[in-house]
Copies of this chain bind each other. A is one copy, B any other.
Amino acid sequence: MAPRMVDKEARRREILAAAVRVFARKGYAEARIEDVAAEAGLAKGTIYLSFPGREALLAGVFEEYAARSAAVLDALGEGPALTRLERLVRGTVETLAGHRDHAIVMLRLWATAPPLDMAAVYGRHREVIADLLRQAAAEGALRPGVGERHATLVVGLIEGCLLQWLADPAVDLAGLADDIVALGVEGVRA
């Protein structure tokens, strides 16, 4: 409530944004606190007023990603299960496509920092999708033979295309959303 609070929070976000840019550029392992400070236009020591240490920057970045990721799952709205699944796919792809730096950082963190529990993140995604598939089955919208195992494929399609796009910006991730939906969602419709 004190204006300080606002300042503090804004400062935190500025630093986190700078950290994402630096991490995307050099990876966490190569990113020096000083690099982040410079990117944020601050002095080294000032970072420590907002974060207890270098690792806290990681945690901060992860939290932002998790929040964004959860927001997609929370905004599927109403309608037939497969429609919501389509929204999930498109929403996820759009969110990722709109924050390439962040996506790169997450991949790097994923691959680098064991403490980040990506198994849980993917597991949560699979669960939500499996749930939608169960509902779709109940709605009779699912082709026979397609079950919850399909959730892994849908997550895989999204993440695998993301991977290729991260490795090679020439890959058109946004454009792939249609293909992913066609194969992964429409392809299993009864």
Contacts and interface: CB of A to CB of B under 8 A. Distances in A.
Interface of A: 26-29, 107-108, 110-114, 118-119, 121-123, 126, 149-150, 152-153, 155-164, 167-168, 171, 176, 179-180, 183-184, 187
Contacts of A153: 157, 161, 176, 179-180, 183
Given A150-B179, A156-B160, A187-B187, 10 more contacts: A108-B111, A108-B112, A149-B179, A152-B161, A152-B164, A153-B161, A153-B183, A156-B157, A159-B160, A183-B183
Nearest to A126: B164
Contacts of A161: 152-153, 156, 160
A164 B111 CA distance: 12
A29 B155 contact: no
A164 to B, nearest CB: 5
Contacts of A171: 152
B27 A112 contact: yes
